[in-house]
Structure 1
Amino acid sequence: MPQQPDNHISASKLAGSMGDSSNKFGRIIIARHGKPAKDRELGPRLTARQYLDWWASYEQASLKDDGQGPSKQLLEATKNAPFINTSIRPRAIETAQAIALGREVRQDSIFIEAPLPPPDWSDFWKFLPKRWNVISRVSWCFGHSGGQESQVEARKRAKDAVEKLINQAASGEDTVLAAHGWFNRMMRPELKRRGWKCTHDGGDSYWSFRIYEKHS
């Protein structure tokens, strides 16, 4: 797989505190999945009901077969991690496998994306999937769940997910998660509350990653 372009970051920073016995915890490295084969920007325009079906098929979609892959930075940061976690969605699993390079990949539904139920609008309203994503996320944040997981429930899941990652990092080894943009975002406040500082912020694009280290 061709690798994504690198932004400058020192090798020592990527290596982190591994091997430093004074640091009880390993690092937590959280990556976003690669680019899916299903394109949010392609038409046709969809009704709310059609978007529900589109999202269901997106959740089962693999990565786009265009030669994409993890950056050298991401591979360097994760090369010694014994814990490689991911959700149960194909796009996340394939991302984790590309990072793992043969190591075991642990799939867990606790890491799936927060749902995107569209509001109950009439068929008059038609938008591209990308626009429905925004509309549905805003609607969800204001309390609409459409019978799916609510924001309150997703926040609780994010706390439980962070607990799982911290328990792995408590071994003194790095732990990696390849998951989803919004759910990764939902874990940040809990990591901060638990005393974890982001020491590398790679943004939110496909294959991007953040590194968190425990601070007293």
Structure 2
Amino acid sequence: MKIHTIFFSLALLVAPGLSKSKGKNDTPNATIEKIEKKYDALSKTAPIVKANGKPMCQSLRFIQEEDNIIQDYSKLRQIAIIRHGEPDMVKTGQYTCSEANQFLKCYDSVCIIVPEKPFFELGANEDVKIFSSPINRALTTAHYLFGTDKEITVSPYFREFENRIKESESKKKHSIKRWTTTSRIKWMLGINRAKGIESFSQAKDRAHKGASILNNASKDNAKVVLTAHGLLNRYLKKDLKKMGWKVVEDTGNDYFGTTILVKVEE
């Protein structure tokens, strides 16, 4: 009897520890670590997608139920934020202020250089909520990735931050990159406000509202995609992280640069 009592007592002491250890492996943080490792593994074998023979990016996808990373797949929410593809126009040369502003108008209206196949892969029956900026380079990116028959919610909340160049009579010529970088820095500092455009503070508020739209959409659609713009996407990512989302994949800020964020419900 004494021996049985001792074994019973030891079982009571050990069992909670075993239960706790198992629970630890199933925590949201542990699951997110597994997802990060999965993306690391996928990146080592993902095929390269090309456009006109030029490498553009690697293939990418959401985590699927068959990956067996999370016991209850319904608890996983995923958001992919994608920068638009490369606009189909010549971007070299030197420009006056007036010419640079005309360049930016064209930049907002042209389509993208379309790769040989979509780099972001969706399954045939994969249910995804798709959002896009109304600016053409982002919207044509969404059409290239998901087709024109998919429902795409176009919202002004996802347009790019302002980058208008203040008009000048000067005939000095600079590269487009110099014009846009200088004008945007001045805009951020509040010393280059063109008439009728939002301030940097207003743009950040808009990005926060955009992040809320994506977050709320994920409550009804476990997978959400946005095609938008480089600087806006950076602020969306910051705001989503403040809302509890975790970055599990980030391919940078170049054309087609993609950030994937996840939430795992308790």
| TM bucket normalised to smaller | 0.7 to 0.9
Q: After the TM superposition, which residues 98-109 of structure 1 pair with which residues of structure 2 at under 5 Å, given as runs?
A: 98-101=144-147, 102-109=149-156
What is the rounded CA distance, in whole Å, between the counterparts of 2:63 and 2:261 in structure 1?
A: 16
For 1:197, give the aligned amino acid.
K
For 1:93, give the aligned amino acid.
L
Cα offset for 1:52?
1.8
| Match 1:158 to one of 193, 202, 207 | 207
Determine what percentage of the aligned residue pairs are the same residue: 25
Partners of 1:119 and 1:139 within 8 A in 2: no
Cα offset for 1:124?
4.1
Q: After the TM superposition, which residues 13-32 of structure 1 pair with which residues of structure 2 at under 5 Å, given as runs?
A: 20-23=73-76, 26-32=77-83
| Match 2:258 to one of 200, 209, 213 | 209
Q: Deviations over 1:148-196 (max 9, x none)?
A: 2210110011011111111110115201000111111121221111111
For 2:140, give the aligned amino acid.
E
Q: Given the superposition, is the C-alpha separation of residues 11 and 175 from structure 1 closer, same or farther in structure 2, using an over 3 Å criterion?
A: closer
Q: TM-score, normalised by structure 1?
A: 0.83
Q: TM-score, normalised by structure 2?
A: 0.68
Q: After the TM superposition, which residues 1-216 of structure 1 pair with which residues of structure 2 at under 5 Å, given as runs?
A: 4-6=56-58, 20-23=73-76, 26-40=77-91, 42-43=92-93, 45-64=94-113, 67=115, 69-71=117-119, 74-76=120-122, 80-101=126-147, 102-119=149-166, 121-143=168-190, 144-147=192-195, 148-214=197-263
Secondary structure (helix, strand or coil) at the match of 1:56 reads helix
Cα offset for 1:10?
9.7
Computing the radius of gyration from Cα coordinates, the structure with the larger value is 2
Q: Given the superposition, is the C-alpha separation of residues 170 and 9 from structure 1 closer, same or farther in structure 2, using an over 3 Å criterion?
A: closer
CA RMSD of aligned residues (A): 3.1
Q: Given the superposition, is the C-alpha separation of residues 8 and 174 from structure 1 closer, same or farther in structure 2, using an over 3 Å criterion?
A: closer
Cα offset for 1:14?
11
What is the rounded CA distance, in whole Å, between the counterparts of 2:95 and 2:235 in structure 1?
A: 28
Cα offset for 1:53?
2.0
Q: Given the superposition, is the C-alpha separation of residues 21 and 179 from structure 1 closer, same or farther in structure 2, using an over 3 Å criterion?
A: same
Unaligned runs of 5+ in 1: none
Cα offset for 1:127?
0.8
Deviating 4+ runs (over 4 angstroms): 1-5, 7-19, 76-79, 119-122
The one of the two structures with greater contact order (alpha-carbon pairs below 8 A, sep at least 6) is 1
Q: Deviations over 1:100-131 (max 9, x none)?
A: 23421121111111111224555143212122
Aligned residue pair count: 209
Q: Given the superposition, is the C-alpha separation of residues 174 and 17 from structure 1 closer, same or farther in structure 2, using an over 3 Å criterion?
A: farther
More helix per residue: 2
What is the rounded CA distance, in whole Å, between the counterparts of 2:71 and 2:214 in structure 1?
A: 16
Which region of structure 1 is more displaced relative to structure 2, 139-148 or 11-20? 11-20
